[in-house]
Every structure is written in structure tokens, then in C-alpha cells.
Amino acid sequence: MGQAFYVTGTGTDVGKTFFSSLFMAKYAKKFGFRYWKPIQTGTISADDTSFVQNTTHLPDSHFLKPSFEYKTPASPHYAAKLEGQSIDPKTLLALISKERNNNTLIEGAGGVFVPITENYLTIRAIQESNLGVVVVGSTELGTINHTLLTLEVLTSRFIPVYGFYLVGPKNDLQEDNATMIQKLGGVSLLGITNFPEQKLSSDEFTSFASTHFDIDRNVIDVVLNAEDEI
């Protein structure tokens, strides 16, 4: 028995996959976590599942294949439309439901208002999946606004938010950004991890995650404690 959780971001390319790679590198083997991105767009140029696996060098058993894959780097509703397809929300929710009692990190596509279909937003899928959420934001200028907006829309819908985690380049604003988001958003800061200064091998990345990610165990503890509360 385990507990899946959802990773969402304050926007596209904000650092969700970097966060997911860090989490998997540090905790996948120890706690049996798997990575899953149910909806993947932009496969013609990028594949987040392959990126996480190549970065962490974890075996196939720690990864689930995306359930909906599209070539165009665009919103899921549009990427699917270009290929003459559509995503059935009921099918998506049924697939997520099968994972809810497993230790699975579920990474979303973009931010909370990204359309999965023309009438079904990501925020609704998160709400109906009834999973806890970690919000990933940037360390940089603008993150206070973007992160507070994301937290507001989640908490106003009574979605369980485990907290927020900032990732990105190291800068003079990041500590104050984190303090203000926690103060104004009423949600716990889980941690801050800056991008490594150079490209790392998978072994180096695992070492980096061990020493630079979730230093106070806020993320893993809140996820594991959620399982105990079921």
C-alpha cells in the first residue's frame, strides 16, 4: 500500500521535471516510487519520462509510460486535436485512480489551468483525482505572483496542498520570495533547490539530489504521512 501524489507547476517549463528528477533520484529506490506523466505533449522534441530516466539512471520498473502522447509541444487539447484525437477525462481519472494506492509521483502537463479538452481543465482533473499536490515554482522574479495564484486556485477548491517547492537559478530574491509566498499563501515551504552550475552525469545528479534536495525531509515526510492518514 502506498500513496500517489500530484506535482503541478506555476506554468510551463517552471521546473516540475527537474523537481521530479530530484525526488526520484533521492527516494525512488528507498521507498519504491514510480514516475508517471499521464499526458505528454511535444514528444517530437522532448520526452519528460525519458529525461527523468536518463537523468536518474533508474531502471524501467520505476517508470510508467504516458497514457496520452502527442508530438506537438502545445496544450493537450490542441496537441491531441492536431492528431485527430481527444483525451477522455473519465479514462484519465480511471487510470489515476488505479495508481492512487501506489507510491507514484504524477507529473502534470503545464499549470493548473491548462486545458485537457476544450471543456475540461487540469484543475478539475486534480480535484476529481482527490490526490495531494506539491506546487513547484521558480526561484526567480515573478514567482510570488504566479505561485500565489496557483495556491489560491487549489486551496479555494479544497484541494489538499502539501506545500510548495522552489527550483531555479540561485539569486538574491529567492529567500524573500519563499518567505512572502508562505506568509501570503498560507501553505508551507517544502524547500528550495537551485540548478547545478554544470551538467551532471546520472551518478553526479544522484549525489547532488542527496545533498541539495529536500534537505529537511519536508517533501518525503508529508507524502508518507498522507499515506498513514488514509
DSSP structure string for 29-77:
HHHT-EEE-SEE--TTT--HHHHHHHHHT--GGGEE--SEE-SSSS-HH
- Helix (H) or strand (E) segment spanning residue 193: strand 189-194
Report phi then psi at 222, rounded to 5: -70, -35
Q: Which helix (H) or strand (E) holds 99?
A: helix 89-99
Catalytic residues: 37
Q: For residue 79, which of 44, 130, 129, 123 has the smallest C-alpha distance? A: 44
- Asked if residue 96 lies in contact with residue 124, where contact means CB atoms within 8 angstroms, the answer is no
**Can you say whether the dihedral through the CA atoms of 167, 191, 124, 100 is positive or negative?**
positive
29-63: b (≥16 Cβ within 10 Å) or e: eeeebbbbbbbbbbbeeebbbeebbebbebeeebb
